[in-house]
Amino acid sequence: MKTHVKALVVGGGAVGTSIAYHLARHGWDEVMLLERDELTSGSTWHAAGLLPYFNMSYATTHIHDYSIRFYKTLEAETGLNAGFSVVGNLRMAQSKARMDEYLLYATTAETCDVPFEWLTPSEIKARWPLLRTEDLEGAIYHPTDGYINPADVTMAMAKGARQRGVTIERKWQVDGYEWTGAEWRVSVSKMVEKGGNLVPSEETAVITAEHVVTATGNHAQRTARMLGIKIPAIPVEHQYIVTEPDPALVAYRREGGGEHPVLRDADAKWYVREERGGWILGPYERNAPARFEYGVPDSFRADLFPLDLERIEEEYMSMIHRIPSSEEVGLKDDYNGPICYTPDGNPLIGPAPGLRNMWLAEGFSFGITAAGGAGEYLAQMMVAGEAEIDMASLDPKRYGDWMTTDYAARKNEEAYEHVYILHHPDEERPACRPLRTAPVYDRQKARGAQFGQVNGWERPNYYGSAEAEEDFDHAARSFRRGGWWDYARTEAEAIRNGVGLIDATAFTKHLVKGPGAAAFMDWFTCNRLPKTGRINLTYALTGAGTTRTEYTVVRLAEDSFYLVSAGAWTGYDGDYLRKAAEDRREELGWIEVQDVTTQWGVFAVAGPKSRDLLGALVKDADPATVLSNKRFPWLSCRDIELGMVPVRAIRVAYTGELGWELHHPIEMQTHLWDRLMEAGEPLGLKLVGARAQNWLRQEKSYRAFGHELGRDATPLEADLPRFVDLSKEFHGKAEMQAKGIRSRCVTVLIDGPSDADPWGREALYLGDGTRVGRLTSGGYSVAFGKSIGMGYVRPDLAKAGQALQVRMLGQLWDAVVTEDSPYDPENARIRQDG
């Protein structure tokens, strides 16, 4: 066995095999894959092999699309037939809401070039007469996907990998990792059979590797322990059953009927496909338990759990309803295996938190579908530094250190159960909540706050009525304007006309200080550094010149910086920042990086009356001028006292009105809140949630991370040249410039339907039907009284007045590109003196 390689891939399931293949295909030699048992002996062997396109995430849709296209090429390359049956995929809808879900999904599919068709119930019946269709609303049909043999496709990728020089070693288990500072020393043991179990023998070795990728499936918890990190990938039981041949199906096929597409009755929570004249039924039932929370026992190899028929009775009965002929057929086989999940159902692909050259590819629940694309995009990241699509939504660091085993297990059970729920874009899932709460949580709740969860934090989305029923928010969800919409509109108007308070405690906050801090920050971010007491909006770039993080930087002192970034991304931002500081310390001088997120609460007060609100509380020798433009100009930071609370006040407002962010010691939060409520009463202070804020920031064309800002676009493509100082050198500058402008960020106002706004994933067209871009944000503008959105278009179309069309709910609606910041473009309201 080789003892030194460039890349060691651990795990010989579909995912690990694809990664090894793609690393070789991207030109890396010396790639080795280790598998503790046989290839495919993990979850891969018992997968049903379905390759569904349908996915609400942009990145995952690209990944699935890559796989489906790639698997079709494998036979020509390797001579092995991967058993891909391109039978298509029919996703049925029993309700109008479900059709709305498909219409929303279709927007993502459209922007990723995924083919689909719409079918009416009678069209379904005409093509597949065995199906009962009278209670259906319709269906979306993907003609180009289907199902594959999971073992065969893995073997074909393994052959392709070997042909490209990859070494594959079976029956070797990784038992430990040690980073030497330059490479990984990986301890491995030869595995042997003992009493039916697979156990390590005394034959051991050490392999050194420049890079390691873990793709260990159900063994992710053991991998996490070995690496000393947290990986929220824990399997859940998933079963499917195979029936005896169905005489009606056999006759239908004998008479020339084509194979049924993979059938999905999402409302009934199952998939069904043909299998040798019978049916495979795969339910996503309630109460499927998490397994192996602390690791897979040695005794569990390519094993299965016992079938739990009672748990899937409801789904079984509904299959009989949909395919009446299946009532008479008996069961032939059953599978109940571990299927890995993560709290949001998406895999963890990318650099491991805190570690160098360690890459994770864990937590795949649709791993056969995702393997091809995961291999390709991870290989792009490892070989070229970045993938062509933004992989942030799949990054392993999206879960912070606050995450525990119990959280992961319970959330993963929920993610499993939610596979077929209506994927409302305004959905908030209930498990493991509340968990991370600001001290004012109960006060907010008493005032009707309806919370969303961001990075584990409870954050008000909007304030409904204080008397609202417990499940008010659930009923308020919609693919159109939900029951919350009027609340958000009133909140947005309050900020435009009066004063509102937004709880932004979940913001990520880092302190960067020390002798090397200024030189480091100058190199790490692309805007010129602010002077002491001032603030700047700036970006840290990737090595490929795209946007890695957006920061509001406050310069507290010559060598001390307070960095504020999006609340959802604390682990993701912190990891990049810390690693970059470590890299430059020796050269630039000591740089200390502290995550102070949980030490500081943040209230944002905004609106024309916000100065009056703070003026009522501020303590100062000259309270009349302390908040004036002269003493406290826009884009500056001051330590002020509000009542008895020392506040780091920052004069910015993400809503585009006069406003301040009040960063305060978290332990004084309730006191500050109570004082603000008292002082706000006579001013009509309104509590405002994240949804209204999201609308308001679009009226100002403020880009949001994870939407307009991400690793697939540079700050120049985001059309933010005013925040890029080209006169200095900074990380990613040359790469950013080399990228040019492939597409450009714009804001659009839309004459849309009266009952819906865009969600930020819709395709943009020219009047002649040419697709020219996509939205990345959407909402409603109270200032303009119509729908608003932000997104990317062909650079030549990024000019104010350009007419476009937006596809929403299946129809095209007129839109027009606005000037940047259509609301108050001169910033006169933000600068308002007093």
CB under 6 A: which stretch of 337-345, 557-565, 711-719, 744-752 binds ligand FAD? 337-345
Binder to ligand FAD among 30, 37, 298, 493 (CB under 6 A)? 37
43 or 693: CB nearest ligand FAD: 43
According to the binding rule CB under 6 A, does residue 8 interact with ligand FAD?
Answer: no
Q: Which of 8, 9, 32, 35 binds ligand FAD (CB under 6 A)?
A: 35
With respect to ligand FAD, which residue has the nearer C-beta, 44 or 693?
44
Q: From the list 58, 70, 84, 335, which residue makes contact with ligand FAD (rule: CB under 6 A)? A: 335
Find the shortest distance in angstroms from Cβ 166 to ligand FAD: 15
Beta carbon nearer to ligand FAD, 217 or 516 = 217
The minimum distance between CB 253 and ligand FAD, in angstroms, equals 22
- Asked if 118 contacts 129 with a C-beta cutoff of 8 angstroms, the reply is no
Q: Which of 43, 453, 527, 570 binds ligand FAD (CB under 6 A)?
A: 43
CA distance 766 to 440: 48
749 is an interface residue for ligand FAD by CB under 6 A? no
In the list 130, 131, 155, 174, the residue contacting ligand FAD (rule: CB under 6 A) is 174
The nearest distance, CB 45 to ligand FAD, in angstroms, is 7
In angstroms, give the least distance from the CB of 226 to ligand FAD.
8
CB-neighbour burial class of residue 768 (10 A; exposed 0-12, middle 13-18, buried 19+): exposed
Q: Which of 49, 396, 500, 601 binds ligand FAD (CB under 6 A)?
A: 49
Show contacts with ligand FAD in window 154-173 (CB under 6 A): 173
Q: How far is the CB of 363 from ligand FAD (least distance, A)?
A: 8
Q: Cβ of residue 14: shortest distance to ligand FAD, in angstroms?
A: 5
Q: Is 373 in the site for ligand FAD (CB under 6 A)?
A: no
Binds ligand FAD (CB under 6 A): choice among 345, 367, 372, 500? 367
x-or-dash string of contact with ligand FAD, 237-256, rule CB under 6 A: -x-x----------------
State which residue, 369 or 508, has the beta carbon closest to ligand FAD: 369
Indicate whether 700 belongs to the interface with ligand FAD (CB under 6 A): no
Residue 17's identity, in one-letter code, is T
Whose Cβ is closer to ligand FAD: residue 169's or residue 592's?
A: 169
Stretch that binds ligand FAD, among 33-41, 159-167, 312-320, 680-688 (CB under 6 A): 33-41
Partners of 179 in the β-ladder: 184
The one segment of 361-369, 387-395, 464-472, 534-542 that binds ligand FAD by CB under 6 A: 361-369
Task: Supply the minimum distance, in Å, between the C-beta of residue 150 and ligand FAD.
Answer: 6
Using CB under 6 A, which residues numbered 501 to 540 contact ligand FAD? none
User: What distance in Å separates the CA atoms of residue 18 and residue 29, rounded to the nearest whole number?
Assistant: 15
Cβ(391)–Cβ(377) under 8 Å?
yes
The reply on whether position 11 binds ligand FAD by CB under 6 A is: yes
Pick from 423, 439, 98: which is nearest to 265 by CA?
98
Closest separation between CB of residue 714 and ligand FAD, Å?
Answer: 33
| Shortest Å, Cβ 257 to ligand FAD | 23
Distance of CA 617 to the CA centre of its chain: 40
319 φ, ψ (degrees, to nearest 5) = -65, -40
Written as six digits, the tokens of 382 are 């490892």
Q: What angle do CA 695, 700, 705 make, to 5 degrees?
A: 70
| Residue 47 binds ligand FAD (CB under 6 A) | yes
Locate all alpha helices (DSSP H) within 73-149, ordered by sequence: 74-78, 96-111, 121-127
DSSP code at position 766 = -
The binder of ligand FAD chosen from 107, 111, 365, 549 (CB under 6 A): 365
By CB under 6 A, is residue 400 in contact with ligand FAD? no
> Does position 500 bind ligand FAD by CB under 6 A?
no
Q: Is residue 34 part of the contact set for ligand FAD (CB under 6 A)?
A: yes
With beta carbons less than 8 A apart as the criterion, state whether 388 and 380 touch.
yes
202-221 residues in contact with ligand FAD (CB under 6 A) are: 215-219
Amino acid at 235: P
| 658 contacts ligand FAD (rule: CB under 6 A) | no
Find the part of the chain contacting ligand FAD (CB under 6 A) among 5-13, 320-328, 457-465, 740-748.
5-13
Q: Which residues contact 371 (CB under 8 A, 6 or more apart)?
A: 13, 14, 15, 17, 18, 67, 153, 154, 157, 364
How many angstroms separate the Cα of 117 from the Cα of each of 102, 578, 718, 806?
A: 11, 47, 33, 19
Q: Which of 121, 337, 456, 545 binds ligand FAD (CB under 6 A)?
A: 337
Secondary structure letter of residue 534 according to DSSP: B
Q: Binders of ligand FAD among 99-138, rule CB under 6 A?
A: none
**Is residue 773 close enough to count as binding ligand FAD by CB under 6 A?**
no
Q: What is the token pair recorded at 521?
A: 């920050």
Parallel, antiparallel or unpaired: strands 358-362 and 348-351: antiparallel
**Segment interacting with ligand FAD (CB under 6 A) among 12-20, 313-321, 448-456, 650-658:** 12-20
Under the binding rule (CB under 6 A), the answer on residue 12 touching ligand FAD is yes
Burial of 558 (0-12, 13-18, 19+ CB in 10 A): exposed
Binding span for ligand FAD by CB under 6 A among 47-55, 71-79, 403-411, 816-824: 47-55
Please provide the distance, in angstroms rounded to a whole number, between the alpha carbons at the two ends of the chain.
75
Contacts of 536 (CB under 8 A, 6+ apart): 527, 528, 529, 530, 552, 553, 635, 723
Shortest distance, CB of residue 359 to ligand FAD, whole angstroms? Answer: 13
Scored b (16 or more CB within 10 A) or e, 770-801 reads ebbbbbbbbbbbbbeeebbbbbbbbbebbeee
Kindly report the number of other CB atoms within 10 A of residue 327's CB atom.
11
Calculate the dihedral angle through the C-alpha atoms of 705, 708, 714, 718, rounding to the nearest 10 degrees.
Answer: -130
Helix (H, G, I), strand (E, B) or coil at 458: strand
Residue 61 found at the interface with ligand FAD (CB under 6 A): no
Nearest partner of 757 among 834, 687, 698, 818, judged by Cα:
698
Q: Which is nearer to ligand FAD, 177 or 507 (CB)?
A: 177
Nearer to ligand FAD, 41 or 698 (CB): 41
Query: Degrees (nearest 5) of the Cα angle 466, 471, 475?
Result: 105
19 sits near ligand FAD (criterion: CB under 6 A)? no
What is the closest distance, in whole angstroms, from the C-beta atom of residue 75 to ligand FAD in the complex? Answer: 19
Half-sphere exposure for 829 (CA within 13 Å, toward CB): 23
- For 393-432, give the DSSP string: GG-GGGS-TT--HHHHHHHHHHHHHTTTS---TT----TT
Amino acid at 689: G
The residues pairing with 816 across neighbouring beta strands, listed in sequence order, are: 749, 803
Provide the mask over 288-327, with x wherever binding to ligand FAD is found by CB under 6 A and - wherever it is not: ----------------------------------------
Task: Rule CB under 6 A: say whether 339 interacts with ligand FAD.
Answer: yes
Q: Which of 9, 16, 510, 513 binds ligand FAD (CB under 6 A)?
A: 16
Note whether 223 and 214 are within 8 A (CB). yes
The residue among 417 and 491 lying less far from ligand FAD, judged by its C-beta, is: 417
Helix (H) or strand (E) holding 156: helix 150-163
Site size with ligand FAD, rule: CB under 6 A: 40
Shortest separation between residue 133's beta carbon and ligand FAD, angstroms: 24
Q: How far is the CB of 154 from ligand FAD (least distance, A)?
A: 8
The binding site for ligand FAD (CB under 6 A) comprises 10-16, 34-37, 41-44, 46-50, 173-174, 215-219, 238, 240, 335, 337-340, 364-369
